[in-house]
Amino acid sequence: MSDVWVLVDHDRGAVSKVTQQLLTLARSLAAGTGGSAIAVFVGPGWTGAEALVARFGPAAVLVASSDELAGYQTGPTVEILARLIAERQPWGVLFASTAGGKEVAARVGARLGLGVLADASAVSLDAGQGNRPLVEHAAFGGAQIVRKTLRSAPYLLCVKPNAVTAVEAPGGQPPVEPVDAQLSGAARRVSIVETVSTAAGGRPAVDQAAIIVSGGRGLKEPANFSLVESLADELGAGVGASRAAVDAGWYPHSAQVGQTGKTVSPQLYVAVGISGAIQHRAGMQTAKTIVAINKDADAPIFALADFGIVGDLFTVLPALTAEIHRRKAT
């Protein structure tokens, strides 16, 4: 089969933005092979997800939905997806390159003996290789960007959020095929006993956000992260942090960007009081546009930045936030 599948990334039917991006990518990859984009939904909440998935143009949707699936981690998804892939042999399967998506892809790959590639920051068709995907991703802690053609059949590819711009393709309601959601005892081995929600302040999570404003040691103390948050809120952005800021206890580790934090590919990344150490760059250098605010004109972050402001962040940030607010109001 020459179809390209997308594993829908969702939380009880609330579909993430990266799924919209993956469906867009699947349409273009499938066009190169004469196949179709197919969405695969596993978990509870299909009725809440249906309309949004349809807007991004899958030719069909395979649905394994039951409330029982809410009680487990990735085991059921791995089992159901591996079964479907083995039976139907798609051309490839796209996953969100998030912790959950990468875990499912790795476990499915290990079960079926398939190649898995994670953290793709760009994907195109390799005409010289029968229109297989040509994938860019960072290697050696971000020191190199490498290009690879995926030859595994099917291939399993994890694509970073915001690597692709989502484009709607409304074509009516695609046919929905219910698939077997029966689980083995092994798939139920790890169950969820408690879910704790962390307050995100209404901001997008750093690994999903299209815009990120990140703060570093230049902020001097934790209270000054409010300057970063104010700018982020004007831009509808997520808030990130350097490891120095996280290690100092100024911001939670879930916001850390870099080699030992999140790797992100937003449309816009604003680095505030961050020097641009190689380990930080490893997590954000594939951002489409990078803006740096730093008082040291020789800071390494400026070598990477598309736009740089050499200045004191305590002057620049309030002025920038006020100006954006003013322009939004007019």
Ligand X SMILES: Cc1cc2nc3c(=O)[nH]c(=O)nc-3n(C[C@H](O)[C@H](O)[C@H](O)COP(=O)(O)OP(=O)(O)OC[C@H]3O[C@@H](n4cnc5c(N)ncnc54)[C@H](O)[C@@H]3O)c2cc1C
Q: Which residues are near ligand X by CB under 6 A?
A: 216-218, 242-245, 256-261, 273-275, 277, 279-280, 283, 294-296, 299, 312-314
CB-nearer residue toward ligand X: 11 or 247: 247
CB-nearer residue toward ligand X: 65 or 275: 275
Min dist. Cβ of residue 323 to ligand X (A): 18
State the helix-helix crossing angle for 75-88 and 99-112, rounded to 10 degrees.
Answer: 50
Min dist. Cβ of residue 119 to ligand X (A): 14
Min dist. Cβ of residue 320 to ligand X (A): 12
CB-nearer residue toward ligand X: 9 or 119: 119
CB-nearer residue toward ligand X: 97 or 256: 256
Min dist. Cβ of residue 41 to ligand X (A): 33
Min dist. Cβ of residue 26 to ligand X (A): 30
CB-nearer residue toward ligand X: 218 or 238: 218
Min dist. Cβ of residue 262 to ligand X (A): 8
Residue 141 has phi, psi (to 5 degrees) of: 65, 25
CB-nearer residue toward ligand X: 76 or 273: 273
Min dist. Cβ of residue 139 to ligand X (A): 16
Min dist. Cβ of residue 47 to ligand X (A): 39
CB-nearer residue toward ligand X: 208 or 224: 224
CB-nearer residue toward ligand X: 164 or 264: 264
Cβ 69 vs Cβ 44: under 8 Å: yes
Q: How far, CA to CA in Å, does 127 sit from each of 2, 24, 130, 230, 234? A: 15, 19, 6, 46, 43
Cβ 3 vs Cβ 38: under 8 Å: yes
> Which position's Cβ is nearest ligand X?
258
CB-nearer residue toward ligand X: 43 or 261: 261
Min dist. Cβ of residue 100 to ligand X (A): 20
Q: 89 — alpha (psi -120 to 50), left (phi > 0) or beta? A: left
